[in-house]
Structure 1
Amino acid sequence: MTFPVLSIIVFTPIVVGMLLLLFPAERKSEIRVAALAAAAICLGLSLFVYFSYNTAAGGYQFVEKFDWVPDFGISYHMGVDGISLPLVLLTGIVIFTGVLISWGMDDRPREFFAFLFILATGVFGTFVSLDLFQLFFFYEIAVFPMFLLIAIWGWQQTREYAAMKLTLYLFIGSVIALVGALAMYFTIGRQTGVYTFDMLKMSELQQSGALNLNITINSPFTGAVWINQPFEIVWFPFVFLGFAVLAGIWPFHNWSPDGHVAAPTAVSMFHAGVLMKLGAFAALRVGIMLLPEGAKFWMPAFVFLTVVNVVYGAFIAMVQKDFKYVIGFSSVSHMGLVSMGFATLNRVGYIGATLQMFSHGVMTALFFAVVGMVYDRAHTRNIPDLGGFVKKMPWAAVAFIIGGFVSMGMPGFSGFIAELPIFLGLWQAREIAPYYVVIAVLSATAIVVTACYVLRVVQNVFFGEFDEHKYHDGIADVTVLDKTAIVVLCSVLILLGVFPALMYPLVSSGVDSIMRLLGVA
């Protein structure tokens, strides 16, 4: 058995989180140090796994497996490939920088970091799960702490509403996805006699024809046939859309901006930077990879939902006056590009979608970190009330500008190497349907709109005249720990943009396995 490095990554946060609850509440410095140490361990081990992965061999590596509940075909099964490994690294980066940004958290930091680490365990566990039951187990662990983190530590004006709205949307989505997952489990079991939640085994049985049957539903009154369609075509929308709710797919997106705005800074970073990727990843891993025929049928239709995400999110972001809402709707727009990449059903589009998940995760964590820095000092997020902050907070200004370059897809930054393959994939997808070219053109307009709202924020928040009278007590510059978080996040965005080979071959190896399932050369 290999060294259980993935298990250590997954369970370190929750173990430390439980231990933090044993600390006396008044020992806040020790609590913060312990939290930072745990986050550093997770980041360090994530980097170790990332750079130890054998890209040439590809496939699932660092595999850990043993029977959990064998009577039901449930196993403890973990592993990473070229799709999940960048997201494991992303989670390590965001949890580490999130702890740095939250160093000044003075309201029950013990409980705050404990819940944040429980959330991290759920996210890590979902990304490395190769058992469907286990994936759902960790997925739900990731959703529940969000309610508490927002409801207790969130923005007082909307935190209870936003926390409940977010939780209801995500639980309803996961229930819908669970129905589809159980349909796969029982159908494969009846067809083959093998009842298993092992996703590798389920994929193998799917390829051997275990799901090649029609679902027929008759009217209870007349006996007329209502539905007579192949299994995968019937159940794919349940699985894909159920998970895609967490990815903010239109029209199930409106929980997301409210959740972003109400959450404390580190939770906003985790929410937009990582949690939304959880939904996209699960939609890919469970929906597309286990039901590839359903994906080929439905994704050319779902691409219309994604273009609404991209264009609508960008235009709504442009007219927002709340600094945090700008970034919230920007996330809706950029996550639409991820789903759009999935809809291309080709190799280059999927490479772009995976790179976009990582790039956007780091970028939006940087954005929300900067928003938090400004709000903590100005005590307002109203853009017209801000201005001239580059004089007081130059590090924050430079960080936001770098994030803006990434958001606009400027060459030399990670956004370019992520978004370009998606648009190339859309162009190639015209072989599926000619309207993919129109989708590409419409989505390209969002790049112009993105430039507009990024430049508007830069002009109105960081440049212009600083109101000395309004902020007569002065605005302090960001702390050393804030600067450390900025350096980490900006370095990743620049390094990936300048040296895409740091991630491109890894992602490519993971996408190749998806293309084989989809029957694409």
Structure 2
Amino acid sequence: MQSANEAAFPWLTVLILVATVAALVLWLVKPLHKVARPVGLGVSVLILLGFVAAVVSGFDVSRADEVQLTELYSWIPQIGVSIAWGINGMGLVMIALSVVLVPVVLLAAWNELEEETDSRAAGYVAWVLALEAIIIGIFAARDVFVFYMLFELMLIPVFFMIGRYGGAGRRRAAVKFLVYSLVGGLIMLVGVIGVYVQGPGGPQGFLIDNLAGAVSGSSTVTMLLFLSFFIGFAIKAPMFPVHTWLPDATEQAPAGTSTLLVGILDKIGTFGMIALCLPLFPEAASDAAMAIMILAVVSILWGGFMAITSKNLMRLIAYTSVSHFGFMILGIFSGSSVAMTGAILYMVAHGVATGALFLVVGFLGRRGGSYEISAYGGWQRVTPLIAGTFLVAGLASIALPGLSGFIPEYLILVGTYQINASLAIVAVFGVILAALYILVPYQRVFTGPKPDLSVPDMDLREKVVAGVLIAGMLFLGFAPAPVLDVVRPVAEISAQNITTQSQDAAASAADATVTAVEGSTK
């Protein structure tokens, strides 16, 4: 008999298989290499439509805190491994972000791939589709072992997307990305083994639901297991001081790769903190929360200062993301349901705004031949649409009211203030730095006398890309209530894992804050 949360149709498995098979076909069938771009775009749109159909037919928003669309298949019962899929409200919005950004990236990279040979263009499209399959699997995985396998498997497409299709220093950047990620993965493997040993065991011993609370207490062993997961996710997030791989990767990677890397893949770090670290190790997470929050504030300020000093636009955007991830992690470990709601919403809002920044800088670099700020000046008079899109995305990144970054950043700061006013006040300086690291580069690149050159502004495909992302920023800025309705129940349950006695006093004010925000946007 079908359970309340079981999928009537295996949507998640089908979506993963469609992306995987399409990637394999593009690699292996040479006649398709000439039409790889339209085929890849068509498959990604089909996956988007399939996900919409799955949500409409099977996901109950009123029970967003529960895992739904579940599928369970026995895989290796001897060691307790199952192929288990399912999503709650957080998984829903993260997969939604992913399946929207993938076709946007393929459309944005259309002209760049046109300059490649057919086989290389087909290879890139295939890697993107393979990565999409892995991403959906990670956000839907309910088995810790399967989650870890996909977490590591993700490195392969990204390594080749940087190392084969990036800039002059692409090999060094790809190796640095790989080394950091492998080290984080090996550290996390210790935790994966540890939670199984300390868990209930059995043929489904790696299921997250079975392990939740099984590794309880504040012992040294529990703290070490928590840290093994947290460090792996902090590297991915990226969080100070294990963030240094990111600027090199984004400087050398194609703009579309950077968009997927920072807009989606790095969210696996914050997603894992919420989905694994908090439910598996609630006491250890509570004990470590203050130290992590301090590091998060350091990330906010460090990323802001480094962005201000950056002379390369891609590195600048990477450092802004270090700052933004600091806000997310601050919200996650504050123990406030308000701040946690803001952190999850920020994961989506950041993906849209930062994705737009990377892609529009890619459009600019393709015309100007450089990502160095000093190579430009007065380009607003030459490419007004590119300049306008950069400005809108930048303003969304610095949390201008009415755009995607404002409400999540507001919720994080308000929720954190209710728990720890000092850290919230220091974090506010990150907002001030944000204005500098976006508006000053905009002034240097786009304002001033008109340069003596003639280059085309956005073409039709690039206008569609910009239009979709700007629409997303406006939607999350003016009408975020539907997303808040989905993520708030997950945030409330997740925040309880690290709520301390002093934090309980803020609970009533927290509920009032989110309710007021939702009411003002409906």
TM-score (norm 2): 0.90
Matches within 5 A, 1:298-447: 298-430=288-420, 437-447=421-431
**3-state SS, counterpart of residue 390 of structure 1:** helix
Could you say which residue in structure 1 is the equivalent of 2:191? 180
Could you say which residue in structure 1 is the equivalent of 2:517? none
CA distance in 2: counterparts of 1:27 and 1:290, whole angstroms: 45
The answer to whether 1:262 aligns with 2:270 is no
**Contact 1:78-1:128 within 8 A present in 2 as well:** yes
- Say if 1:50 and 1:360 are closer, same or farther in 2 by CA, change over 3 A: farther
Could you say which residue in structure 2 is the equivalent of 1:197? 206
Could you say which residue in structure 1 is the equivalent of 2:510? none
Could you say which residue in structure 1 is the equivalent of 2:456? 476
Bigger mean CA deviation after superposition, 390-399 or 286-295: 390-399
The answer to whether 1:76 aligns with 2:83 is yes
**3-state SS, counterpart of residue 380 of structure 2:** coil
Matches within 5 A, 1:96-135: 96-104=103-111, 105=113, 106-107=115-116, 108-135=120-147
Could you say which residue in structure 2 is the equivalent of 1:15? 21
The answer to whether 1:36 aligns with 2:30 is no
State the Cα distance separating 1:230 from its structure 2 match: 4.9
Q: Sequence identity of aligned pairs in percent?
A: 28
State the Cα distance separating 1:289 from its structure 2 match: 1.8
CA distance in 1: counterparts of 2:133 and 2:202, whole angstroms: 34
CA distance in 1: counterparts of 2:476 and 2:450, whole angstroms: 35
The answer to whether 1:489 aligns with 2:469 is yes
Map Cα deviations across residues 169-221 of structure 1 (whole Å, 9 max, x no partner): 011101111211210111114xx777600101111xx2xxx43467xxxxxxx
CA distance in 2: counterparts of 1:25 and 1:194, whole angstroms: 45
State the Cα distance separating 1:413 from its structure 2 match: 1.1
State the Cα distance separating 1:48 from its structure 2 match: 3.6
Map Cα deviations across residues 90-117 of structure 1 (whole Å, 9 max, x no partner): 1112111100011121321011111121
Map Cα deviations across residues 419-441 of structure 1 (whole Å, 9 max, x no partner): 111101211213xxxxxx22212
CA distance in 1: counterparts of 2:314 and 2:383, whole angstroms: 18
CA distance in 1: counterparts of 2:55 and 2:241, whole angstroms: 35
CA distance in 1: counterparts of 2:460 and 2:51, whole angstroms: 24
Could you say which residue in structure 2 is the equivalent of 1:211? 215
CA distance in 2: counterparts of 1:112 and 1:446, whole angstroms: 36
State the Cα distance separating 1:498 from its structure 2 match: 0.5
Bigger mean CA deviation after superposition, 263-272 or 459-468: 459-468
**Contact 2:353-2:396 within 8 A present in 1 as well:** yes
CA distance in 1: counterparts of 2:264 and 2:216, whole angstroms: 35
CA distance in 1: counterparts of 2:400 and 2:62, whole angstroms: 30
**3-state SS, counterpart of residue 379 of structure 2:** coil
Matches within 5 A, 1:209-248: 210-212=214-216, 229-248=219-238
CA distance in 2: counterparts of 1:458 and 1:57, whole angstroms: 43
Map Cα deviations across residues 266-317 of structure 1 (whole Å, 9 max, x no partner): 1011011011101211122111121111111101111111111111101110
- The one of 6, 11, 15 equivalent to 2:12 is 6
**Contact 2:77-2:203 within 8 A present in 1 as well:** no
- Say if 1:49 and 1:498 are closer, same or farther in 2 by CA, change over 3 A: farther
- The one of 36, 56, 59 equivalent to 2:62 is 56
Map Cα deviations across residues 221-245 of structure 1 (whole Å, 9 max, x no partner): xxxxxxxx35432321111122211
State the Cα distance separating 1:464 from its structure 2 match: 1.3
CA distance in 1: counterparts of 2:158 and 2:127, whole angstroms: 8
Structure 1 segments unaligned to the other structure (5+ residues)? 215-228, 431-436
CA distance in 1: counterparts of 2:142 and 2:461, whole angstroms: 36
**Contact 2:353-2:473 within 8 A present in 1 as well:** yes
Could you say which residue in structure 1 is the equivalent of 2:52? 47
**3-state SS, counterpart of residue 243 of structure 2:** coil
**3-state SS, counterpart of residue 86 of structure 2:** strand
- Say if 1:475 and 1:211 are closer, same or farther in 2 by CA, change over 3 A: same
- Say if 1:187 and 1:36 are closer, same or farther in 2 by CA, change over 3 A: same
**Contact 1:82-1:511 within 8 A present in 2 as well:** no
- The one of 420, 432, 436 equivalent to 1:448 is 432
CA distance in 2: counterparts of 1:255 and 1:408, whole angstroms: 23
For 1:39, give the aligned amino acid: S
- Say if 1:496 and 1:47 are closer, same or farther in 2 by CA, change over 3 A: farther
Bigger mean CA deviation after superposition, 279-288 or 411-420: 279-288
CA distance in 2: counterparts of 1:151 and 1:365, whole angstroms: 20
**Contact 1:179-1:238 within 8 A present in 2 as well:** yes
Matches within 5 A, 1:158-169: 158-169=169-180
CA distance in 2: counterparts of 1:310 and 1:202, whole angstroms: 33
For 1:308, give the aligned amino acid: V
Structure 2 segments unaligned to the other structure (5+ residues)? 1-6, 508-522
- Say if 1:43 and 1:389 are closer, same or farther in 2 by CA, change over 3 A: farther
- Say if 1:24 and 1:309 are closer, same or farther in 2 by CA, change over 3 A: same
For 1:16, give the aligned amino acid: A
CA distance in 2: counterparts of 1:48 and 1:195, whole angstroms: 29
**3-state SS, counterpart of residue 62 of structure 1:** strand
Q: CA RMSD in A?
A: 1.8
- Say if 1:4 and 1:69 are closer, same or farther in 2 by CA, change over 3 A: same
Could you say which residue in structure 1 is the equivalent of 2:488? 508
Aligned length: 488
State the Cα distance separating 1:518 from its structure 2 match: 4.1
TM-score (norm 1): 0.90
CA distance in 1: counterparts of 2:80 and 2:278, whole angstroms: 22
State the Cα distance separating 1:515 from its structure 2 match: 3.5
**Contact 1:240-1:284 within 8 A present in 2 as well:** no
